Amino acid sequence: MADEFDTIEQDAKVEEERPDEAYQLDRKAVSAILYAVDIEDQAKLIELMDPLHPADIADLLEQINAYDRSRLIRLYDREFDGDILSELDESIRDEVIAVLTPQVLTQAVRDLDSDDVVDLVEDMDDSQQEAILDALEDADRLAVKQALSYPEFSAGRLMQREVVMAPEHWTVGDAIDHLRSSSEEDLPDQFYHIVVVDPRLHPVGNVTLGKVMRSRRDVPLLDIVEPTFQVIPATQPESDVAYAFNQYHLISAPVVDDEGRLIGLITIDDAMAVLDEEHEEDIMRLAGVGEGSLSDRVIETTKQRMPWLAVNLLTSIAASLVIAQFEVAIAQIVALAVLMPIVASMGGNAGTQSLTVAVRAIATKDLTGSNVWRVIRREVLVGLFNGLLFAVVMGVVGLVWFGSPALGYVIAAAMVVNMVVAGFAGTVIPVILDRVGVDPALASGAFVTTVTDVVGFFAFLGLAAAVLL
Amino acid sequence: MADEFDTIEQDAKVEEERPDEAYQLDRKAVSAILYAVDIEDQAKLIELMDPLHPADIADLLEQINAYDRSRLIRLYDREFDGDILSELDESIRDEVIAVLTPQVLTQAVRDLDSDDVVDLVEDMDDSQQEAILDALEDADRLAVKQALSYPEFSAGRLMQREVVMAPEHWTVGDAIDHLRSSSEEDLPDQFYHIVVVDPRLHPVGNVTLGKVMRSRRDVPLLDIVEPTFQVIPATQPESDVAYAFNQYHLISAPVVDDEGRLIGLITIDDAMAVLDEEHEEDIMRLAGVGEGSLSDRVIETTKQRMPWLAVNLLTSIAASLVIAQFEVAIAQIVALAVLMPIVASMGGNAGTQSLTVAVRAIATKDLTGSNVWRVIRREVLVGLFNGLLFAVVMGVVGLVWFGSPALGYVIAAAMVVNMVVAGFAGTVIPVILDRVGVDPALASGAFVTTVTDVVGFFAFLGLAAAVLL
């Protein structure tokens, strides 16, 4: 009942009282759409879907179940837009494509820009890819195939091929006359810059359309190029492309081949999408979740999460082997078993803090050869200070709880040791993994927790065995 | 030696062999700059800094130590650009401002756009803010003060006030004539769209400059507006602004006041910066690191990390209290102490996986009322299946290691229970926190690990006490 009430009032107060809900799909709208599907009212469905952006339609398809999804797509039929496919999460894209009739699919794909087709087909198996490519016109098919010849996740896959360029001797007047005399088909759908090129087609500068508009006709284009100009090699990884756009506030940047010749253009909206995906990947990898998404099925998700759990099982068993060395001590002082998880857990948390900071700093290029030792020293000192603080707290807890000052000293000392080690391992391990070419977001967690578990149990139980027995 | 060799060859092979190092500050360049500072060679310093973008200079200042930083800034003197201040991490901004002479600071601030000044002063204390505002010209000071009247992290703080607008009856020809007759000062430095407004100044559409350039003079602007058009309320949270830009591939969007009147414009580069910060914050919060950055000092970092460690200490003690209930069982069967961390750790990992997926899905508006129950069911089933798998593995390990089939059954059963609970708690806890208005990224981790620790120890030790004793 509470939910129904919320929904009814939602339209009126969405902005003021629930600002977090902006841009979220309206539950009432979703229900109305599903109802239209239930009663197979195609006209109503099309009317309800009309105001939705393809990105919102894709979100809608991701959020409903597979049965509703296929019924909706069949009823929506020819209205199905190619952009919906581009926006769909990969986990259900194949399923959606399988539901579309060949005619609808062909039309949908033909409406897409070539860089969107590349994004669509790059993860498909060969036969499916062939089917999509066959649907394209010759020029587009060639463009897509050429883009696919660049490595996955490279600038070459990300770029659009349509670029507005001008020779370096042109003036503002030349550029305006050229643009206004070009037919609509010769110019890209969206463009914000003119790329100035030398006779060998090497880009030498970017001129914004705004500057062209507000400058006198006799001004040479070279006099009004943007102060910040970055040329992107086609083989550059897309993560670096996203970094460059964010670092230098680029709106578009020319892409060049091995010889430095202009072959395409990347715009900031594509770079923003890459930045978003990279972050998503980092967060998921830090948590050991793998490539998963919310629309994956149970079995796929189970498989995706298994490797990390298996690694964690091995590291836990390693920690247990350490505990097993001190069975005699534990049998004599059961308090050790009660307290030992605290030392390991505090080390694990401190280590995760350090490693998260290090992994992010590596990704944002803020942790470099110039400052790595200063960062390590800082993390070790932070571990030491927090270790000392929580050592005092735990020493008192140990003393009060079990009435043994010696137990208090032991847990305090183990806490300091483990948190210093956590700060060191949490920084050094991601740095080393990065140097040897392993993604630190993916692998650091397992190593760091192993270190803090082993050191935590060993320091606490070892000290206890030495001091208390 | 190896490092030195790398540095010398770096220029030649940076693109091919170490693609990850693109856009990273060159160690050789940093050394040369610091050497120029050492010998106080101002001309050399200015020459070396000249090719660097303000964002790179900011990175350089962040990566060197405080002593080098202040010497460099003093020597660089009047060359210090306002954009460097905008790009600097907040943690060292105050320190850098304190080093600048009043004249240099005034000049630096005057060169900035008003939205960058807002970003600069919004976190300053009143007296510092006053000093910066006094340095501005009257019109700019008014603009900054008005922006500051909007809530922190809102669209009103993010927008620029300069907008190119056109009445809705204009044609392409009218717009071109207007733009070309405007003086350079009347138009923004960078602009990509013309916002079409009705007589009450309500935005009704966006026209790209590219479309203006390639359309006939007699075409009405309203005929060539972009199909996707989003108007942003000034009070909208900046995270929603970033979401809208990413979701709808916007390049710029008009900002309106409470009455729907056009008051400013947000461009995608600012939205991209917000997206980047939001992600950073999510990652840091998930790891319990707080607001920290790499340039923070040891004491600040120690303080930032303390709260999360304190929470973790409390949850560990809660887990220890559970263990303490079973001291008798542990004293009799020490193997329980050896194996119990495995059950807790596997639950903690599975819970972290579920909660990370849930936290991300909430942030990207993919987890909504329409699919929350389906997601919970999926996470519980994933927990069940992985629980069953690892239960078999651990059952065998328990049997082989300690030669007790009963111990194997107990640990297997506890594993299944804890991983199902982990899947449930990992999804439900972030959803509930979000509903009651607490950031799930910040608080979920502590709750979920408490649940998996307590349930893990209780299920394993409780079953063991019931079955084995």
Nearest chain A residue to B376 by CA: give it: A294
Q: How distant is the Cα of B127 from the closest Cα of chain A, in angstroms? A: 31
Instruction: Give the Cα separation of A289 and A287 in Å (integer).
Output: 6
Paired tokens of A108: 């949908």
- Place B18 in a pLDDT band, splitting at 50, 70 and 90: very low
Closest-CA residue to B130 (of B164, B105, B150) = B105
Task: Assess contact for B411 and B339: CB atoms under 8 A.
Answer: yes
H or E, element range at A211 = helix A209-214
Nearest chain B residue to A354 by CA: give it: B289
The DSSP 8-state label assigned to residue A154 in this structure reads B
Q: How distant is the Cα of A261 from the closest Cα of chain B, in angstroms? A: 16
Would you call A309 and B382 a contact, using CB atoms and an 8 Å cutoff? no
* Interface residue of B87, B249, B378 to substitute, partner A, most A CBs within 10 Å: B249
Residues of chain B in contact with residue A209, where contact means CB-CB under 8 angstroms, are: 192, 209-210, 213
> What dotted CATH number matches A2-111?
1.25.60
Mean pLDDT of all residues in B165-181: 93
Of A233, A244, A276, the CB nearest to B23: A244
Would you call A247 and B27 a contact, using CB atoms and an 8 Å cutoff? no
pLDDT tens-digit readout, A31-61? 999 999 999 999 999 999 998 999 999 999 9
Instruction: Give the Cα separation of B164 and B161 in Å (integer).
Output: 10
Closest-CA residue to A465 (of A349, A361, A330) = A330
Nearest chain B residue to A7 by CA: give it: B369
Q: Residue A58: which residues within 8 A CB-CB, separation 6 or more?
A: A84, A87, A88, A89
pLDDT tens-digit readout, B308-322? 999 999 999 999 999
Nearest 5°: the CA angle A142, A235, A369 is 165
pLDDT at A296 (0 to 100): 78
pLDDT at B188 (0 to 100): 82
**CA A53 → CA A87, B196, B230, B249, distances in Å?**
10, 21, 11, 11
- In the predicted structure, residue A425 carries a pLDDT above the cut 60: yes
Closest-CA residue to A57 (of A69, A40, A75, A44) = A69
pLDDT tens-digit readout, B445-459? 889 999 999 999 999
Mean pLDDT of all residues in A148-167: 92
Q: How distant is the Cα of A250 from the closest Cα of chain B, in angstroms? A: 7
Nearest chain A residue to B449 by CA: give it: A345
Of B249, B305, B312, the CB nearest to A382: B305
Of A19, A209, A306, the CB nearest to B210: A209
Q: How distant is the Cα of B430 from the closest Cα of chain A, in angstroms? A: 15
Q: How distant is the Cα of A70 from the closest Cα of chain B, in angstroms? A: 17
- Fold designation for B165-286: CBS-domain (3.10.580)
Would you call A15 and B233 a contact, using CB atoms and an 8 Å cutoff? yes
Instruction: Give the Cα separation of A367 and A346 in Å (integer).
Output: 25
Residue A252 backbone dihedrals phi, psi, to 5 degrees: -150, 155
pLDDT tens-digit readout, A320-340? 999 999 999 999 999 999 999
Task: Assess contact for A316 and B345: CB atoms under 8 A.
Answer: yes
Of A3, A339, A349, the CB nearest to B312: A349
Residues of chain B in contact with residue A381, where contact means CB-CB under 8 angstroms, are: 298, 302
Predicted-assembly ipTM surpassing the 0.90 threshold:
no
pLDDT tens-digit readout, B283-336? 998 888 877 677 778 998 999 899 999 999 999 999 999 999 999 999 999 999
B103 vs A455, higher pLDDT: A455
Residues of chain A in contact with residue B371, where contact means CB-CB under 8 angstroms, are: 63-64, 294
**CA A466 → CA A406, A459, A463, B314, distances in Å?**
11, 10, 5, 28
Instruction: Give the Cα separation of B305 and A418 in Å (integer).
Output: 16
DSSP codes of every residue in B424-464: HHHHHHHHHHHHTT--HHHHHHHHHHHHHHHHHHHHHHHHH
Provide the mean pLDDT of chain B: 89
Q: How distant is the Cα of B203 from the closest Cα of chain A, in angstroms? A: 18
Instruction: Give the Cα separation of B406 and A453 in Å (integer).
Output: 27
pLDDT at B135 (0 to 100): 84
- Place A424 in a pLDDT band, splitting at 50, 70 and 90: very high
pLDDT at B11 (0 to 100): 38
- In the predicted structure, residue A415 carries a pLDDT above the cut 90: yes
DSSP codes of every residue in A392-456: HHHHHHHHHHH--HHHHHHHHHHHHHHHHHHHHHHHHHHHHHHHTT--HHHHHHHHHHHHHHHHH
Mean pLDDT of all residues in A439-449: 89
Highest mean pLDDT (candidates A329-333, B61-65, B362-366): A329-333
Residues of chain A in contact with residue B331, where contact means CB-CB under 8 angstroms, are: 331, 334
pLDDT tens-digit readout, A87-125? 998 888 888 988 998 888 888 888 888 888 898 888 888
The correct CATH number of B22-153 out of 1.10.1040.10, 3.30.1330.60, 1.25.60.10, 1.10.3720.10 is: 1.25.60.10
Highest mean pLDDT (candidates A341-345, A365-369, B99-103, B360-364): A341-345
- Place A12 in a pLDDT band, splitting at 50, 70 and 90: very low
Task: Assess contact for A115 and A188: CB atoms under 8 A.
Answer: no
Amino acid (1-letter code) at residue A38: D
* Interface residue of B305, B306, B333, B339 to substitute, partner A, most A CBs within 10 Å: B305
- Place A17 in a pLDDT band, splitting at 50, 70 and 90: very low
Would you call A251 and B272 a contact, using CB atoms and an 8 Å cutoff? no
Q: 3-state SS of A314-377?
A: HHHHHHHHHHHCCHHHHHHCCHHHHHHHHHHHHHHHHHHHHHHHHHHHHHCCCCCCCCHHHHHH
Q: How distant is the Cα of A189 from the closest Cα of chain B, in angstroms? A: 8
Instruction: Give the Cα separation of A424 and A362 in Å (integer).
Output: 16
Q: How distant is the Cα of B115 from the closest Cα of chain A, in angstroms? A: 14
Instruction: Give the Cα separation of A323 and A316 in Å (integer).
Output: 11
Would you call A309 and B390 a contact, using CB atoms and an 8 Å cutoff? yes
Would you call A210 and B233 a contact, using CB atoms and an 8 Å cutoff? no
Closest-CA residue to A318 (of A169, A451, A148) = A451
- In the predicted structure, residue B1 carries a pLDDT above the cut 50: no
- Place B128 in a pLDDT band, splitting at 50, 70 and 90: confident
| Residue ranges covered by each domain of chain A | 2-111, 165-286, 298-468
* Interface residue of A13, A17, A313, A355 to substitute, partner B, most B CBs within 10 Å: A313
Would you call B272 and A271 a contact, using CB atoms and an 8 Å cutoff? yes
A287 vs A419, higher pLDDT: A419
* Interface residue of A65, A213, A291 to substitute, partner B, most B CBs within 10 Å: A213
- In the predicted structure, residue B162 carries a pLDDT above the cut 90: no
Would you call B276 and A22 a contact, using CB atoms and an 8 Å cutoff? no
Nearest chain B residue to A154 by CA: give it: B19
Of A62, A190, A346, the CB nearest to B312: A346
- In the predicted structure, residue A1 carries a pLDDT above the cut 90: no
- In the predicted structure, residue B17 carries a pLDDT above the cut 70: no
- Place B14 in a pLDDT band, splitting at 50, 70 and 90: very low
pLDDT at B21 (0 to 100): 67
Instruction: Give the Cα separation of A72 and A74 in Å (integer).
Output: 6
- In the predicted structure, residue A293 carries a pLDDT above the cut 80: no
How many residue pairs bridge chain A and chain B with CB atoms within 8 Å of each other? 376
Amino acid (1-letter code) at residue B11: D
Instruction: Give the Cα separation of A236 and A280 in Å (integer).
Output: 20
Amino acid (1-letter code) at residue B85: L
Q: How distant is the Cα of B451 from the closest Cα of chain A, in angstroms? A: 14
Would you call A192 and B214 a contact, using CB atoms and an 8 Å cutoff? no
Listed in order, strand segments (DSSP E) in A97-182 are 165-167
- In the predicted structure, residue B255 carries a pLDDT above the cut 60: yes
B175 vs A94, higher pLDDT: B175
pLDDT at A21 (0 to 100): 67
Would you call A269 and B251 a contact, using CB atoms and an 8 Å cutoff? yes
**CA A117 → CA A84, A94, A144, B432, distances in Å?**
12, 14, 7, 39
Task: Assess contact for B195 and B212: CB atoms under 8 A.
Answer: no
- Fold designation for B298-468: Tetracycline Repressor; domain 2 (1.10.357)
Would you call A360 and B214 a contact, using CB atoms and an 8 Å cutoff? no
